[in-house]
Structure 1
Amino acid sequence: MARKDNLDRFPRAQLMSGPTPLERLDRLSAELGIDLWLKRDDLTGLGFGGNKTRQLEFYLGDALKQGADTILITGAVQSNFVRSAAAAAAKLGMQSVLQLEERVPDMGEAYYSSGNVLLAKILGAEHMSYPEGEDETGADAALHARAEELKTQGRTPYVIHLGLNHPPLGALGYVVAGQELCLQMPDFDAVIVPSGSGATHGGLLTGVALAESDSSVFGVCVRRDRDKQRARMTTVLQKLAELLGIDAEPLLNRINVLDEALPPGYGKLSEMTRAALEKMARTEGIFLDPVYSAKTFAGLLHLVNTGEIQPGQKVVMLHTGGLPALFGYQNELASDLP
C-alpha cells in the first residue's frame, strides 16, 4: 500500500492539544503474562475527553469551511459522541442539536438524566428524540428535517451523519491516531479497539497500515455480531480508502473482529463486561465505561485466555473514554457492589 504523506487537504478544527499518552499497565502485564499498554484517548481533554474528539476535528473542520453555525448529530441516550459534539460546538462558538435514540431498553431514571445527558444540558445543547435504535437512515433523515427548520430561522446547519452512505470524515481522526501510535511505539504486536460505527476501528487500522506496520488490529464488537460488523467494516474501509485515494484491498484483508464480549447487546452489561471493568479499576486504578472500553478489555482478556494473544507479546488497548456514562449506569453497576 502506498504511504499517505499527509491529510492537509481535509479541513480540521483544532480540538486537541497534542498526542495522547501511551501508558504501560505494569500490574496487569504481570498478571496476564503480556506487555500491556493503554493508549489514553480518554485524555483528549475537551468536554470529558474520549475518542470522539479526534473524529470531530474533521467533521467540524468541514462544518466551519461551509460556514455552519449549528451542528446536528444523533446517537444513543448516553452517547459520548453527542456530548463531545456539544462541547466542541461550544468551544467553536456554534450551537448544537442532539438527537437521542432509544437503543437500550429497560433502563432506569439515571440513564435518562445523568452522565452524558446532564453534561450536554450544561453545555446548552438542544435535545430531540428518535424512537428507533437501529434505523440509521431514519435517524439521519430526522436530523435533516430539523436542519431545514433551522434554515428558515436564518441558521446554517451542518449534519454529522450516522449512516454508511456518507463519507466517513470522522475516521480520518483515527488515521492520524494510528500513525501517532506507530511513532510512539513502532514495534507492538497487536492493538485492540472497540468496533461500533466503524470509524475508530477503520481509521486506526488504516493509520497503522499507512505507517507500514504489520501489527494486528482487533475490533471488539460493541453493537453488532461478528458477521454484521465485518460487513460494516468492509463498507467503512472502502469509503475511507476512496476518501484518501488509496487501495482498499490491503485494508479489507486485515479486518479482524470478535463478538464474545457483545452479549447481551449494545449498552447492556454482562458478567464478562462487569468483571473486566472491575479488574481494570482494582488492578490499575483506571476506570472504563460499560458500553465501549469495558467490552474492549473483556475482548482483550478473551484473546489472552484463548491464546490468540500469546505470552510476552506487546499489546496496546485503545481507551476510548466515555466515563460520564458510568453515572448513567449507576443502578446497573451498583447492584452487585458491596
Structure 2
Amino acid sequence: MQTVLDKALSAFPRADLLQGPTPIQRACRLEQQLGLHEQQVQLYIKRDDHMLIGGGGNKLRKLEFHLGAALQDGIDTIITVGGIQSNHARLTAAVCARQGIDCELILSRAVPKREADYELNGNRLLDHLFGARVHVLPQGKDAQVQAEIRAAQLRAAGRKPLVIPTGGSTPVGSLGYARCAAEITRQETELDVQFTQVMIANGSAGTHAGLAAGFELLGRGAATVRSWSVLTDRDTAAARTLQLTRQTLALLGSSAALRTDAIDIDASQLGEGYGLPTPAMLEAVQLMARCEGLLLDPVYSGKAFAGLLGDLRQGRYRSGDSVLFVMTGGTPGLYAYRDTFIAR
C-alpha cells in the first residue's frame, strides 16, 4: 500500500544506486555481551554499509536523489567538498565513475592529522582509483567557496557542472533517508517488530533530517530518531538538523509544524572534535568487530555506537524495547586510522 511519503517521494527523479533495501540483522552476540537478554531489550543493526557501489555507506542514499536530478538536467561534471577522508567524496567519485560523469573533489584539512595513512590511504586511495580529480586545499581555505570558483571556470569553458555541498546534506539529499524511513517501516512488518528508536551518527545532519522527516510523515514522529553529533556541539547540531528536517518536509509537500524538542541529539561522544579518536569510540569499534564481525568507522558510526552503548548500559530502554542502530558505512576510514588502532 502506497503511503503519503511514498507518493511524495515518487515526484522526484532518483538514480537506483542501492539495488534494493539494505538488510537488518539482530545483534545476538552483542545482546549477550551487554546483558540485554536479561533486560529483554533487543538490538538490531541496519546495514547501510552493505551496498554494492564504492564500498557502501549512507551517502549513496543521498546521491540517489542528487544524481537523479543531475541526470535529468544533463550535468556533465559533479563537484563536491569534504575532508581529506570524506566518505561522501569517495562515494561521489564512485557514482560518477559508474555513470560516466566527470568528478572533482575539493578536500579541506578538517582534522589535525598528518600521518601518511591519513593523507594517502583509506578514502584518499579510493578517490584516486575511482578516477576523480582531487584538489587538496591548504589549511584555512573554504572548500565550498573553491568549489563554486571551480564550477564557474567549468561553465566558462562550456561545461555543465553541479556543486553538491558537504555530505550531500541538502533537502534533496535528505530525501534519501526519508525513503529509508519507509524502507525500515516495511522491514519492521517483515521482521514482526517495531523499533522503539532508530540511532545514527550526525555529521552534516542530512541522515538524521531525512529519517526524521520520513518518520514524521509516516505518523511515527521525528523523535523516533536519536543521533550523536560527531561534528559540532549539541545546540549547533540540533539547530542545523531542525532546519534541514523542516526544509525536507516542505520539499515533500508537508506543512507539519515540527517542534524543536522533536530533534533528539546527544553530543557526549564528540570528544576533542571531528575526526579525533576517543577511548569510547575505540571500545565500540572493537566490541562490534569482536562480537559481530562487523566494522564500524572511527569518525561517525564508531562514536554513535559508543553513545548507544552508554544508553544501553545506563538502562535507557525498558523491557520489550527493540532498538535499531544504522551502520552508515565509512569502513575505508579505518585504514586511515591505522596508527590509532595499532597503538592499542
TM-score after normalising by structure 2: 0.91
Q: Hey, what does 1:298 align to over in structure 2?
A: 306
User: 1:161-200, aligned counterparts within 5 Å?
Assistant: 161-162=165-166, 167-186=170-189, 187-200=194-207
Q: Hey, what does 1:14 align to over in structure 2?
A: 16
| SS of aligned partner of 1:50 | coil
Of 280-289 and 243-252, deviating more is 243-252
| SS of aligned partner of 1:315 | strand
- Offset, 1:250: 3.4
Q: Is the 8 A contact 1:76 1:102 kept in 2?
A: yes
- 1:72-91 superposed Cα distances (whole Å, 9 cap, x missing partner): 00001101000000000011
- 1:200-230 superposed Cα distances (whole Å, 9 cap, x missing partner): 0110112122222257311111111111111
Structure 2 CA distance for partners of 1:94 and 1:163, relative to 1, 3 Å: closer
Structure 2 CA distance for partners of 1:167 and 1:325, relative to 1, 3 Å: closer
Q: Does 2:113 align with 1:110?
A: no
Q: Is the 8 A contact 1:24 1:36 kept in 2?
A: yes
- 1:25-79 superposed Cα distances (whole Å, 9 cap, x missing partner): 1011223312000000001211101111110011111111111111000001101
Q: Does 2:62 align with 1:55?
A: yes
User: 1:46-125, aligned counterparts within 5 Å?
Assistant: 46-125=53-132
- Offset, 1:317: 0.2
Q: Hey, what does 1:231 align to over in structure 2?
A: 239
For these two proteins, the number of residue pairs brought into alignment is 331
Q: Does 2:276 align with 1:268?
A: yes
Distance 1:31 1:332 in 2: 24
| SS of aligned partner of 1:194 | strand
Distance 1:333 1:221 in 2: 22
Distance 2:293 2:261 in 1: 37
Q: Hey, what does 1:249 align to over in structure 2?
A: 257
| SS of aligned partner of 1:170 | helix
Q: Hey, what does 1:154 align to over in structure 2?
A: 158
Structure 2 CA distance for partners of 1:163 and 1:251, relative to 1, 3 Å: farther
Q: Is the 8 A contact 2:107 2:143 kept in 1?
A: no
Distance 1:72 1:126 in 2: 9
Of 306-315 and 153-162, deviating more is 306-315
Distance 1:156 1:235 in 2: 29
- Offset, 1:128: 0.9
Out of 27, 30, 40, which is 2:29 matched to? Answer: 27
- Offset, 1:260: 1.3
Distance 1:167 1:51 in 2: 14
Aligned residue type for 2:145: A
Aligned residue type for 1:26: C
Aligned residue type for 2:184: L
Q: Does 2:224 align with 1:216?
A: yes
Q: Unpaired runs of 5+ in structure 1?
A: none
Question: Deviation above 6 Å: which 4+ runs of structure 1?
Answer: none
Distance 1:114 1:84 in 2: 15
Distance 1:198 1:251 in 2: 17
Structure 2 CA distance for partners of 1:89 and 1:262, relative to 1, 3 Å: same
Distance 1:300 1:51 in 2: 18
Distance 1:267 1:162 in 2: 15
Q: Unpaired runs of 5+ in structure 2?
A: none
Q: Is the 8 A contact 1:195 1:220 kept in 2?
A: yes
- Offset, 1:175: 0.3
- Offset, 1:252: 4.2
TM-score after normalising by structure 1: 0.93
Of 57-66 and 212-221, deviating more is 212-221
Aligned residue type for 1:155: R
Q: Is the 8 A contact 2:246 2:258 kept in 1?
A: no
Q: Hey, what does 1:309 align to over in structure 2?
A: 317
| SS of aligned partner of 2:231 | coil
Superposed CA RMSD in Å reads: 1.9
- 1:298-323 superposed Cα distances (whole Å, 9 cap, x missing partner): 01011112222234420000000110
| SS of aligned partner of 2:9 | coil
Distance 1:129 1:22 in 2: 37
Distance 1:163 1:290 in 2: 17
| SS of aligned partner of 1:316 | strand
Identity %: 39
Aligned residue type for 1:35: Q
- Offset, 1:106: 3.1
Q: Does 2:322 align with 1:320?
A: no
Distance 1:314 1:216 in 2: 12
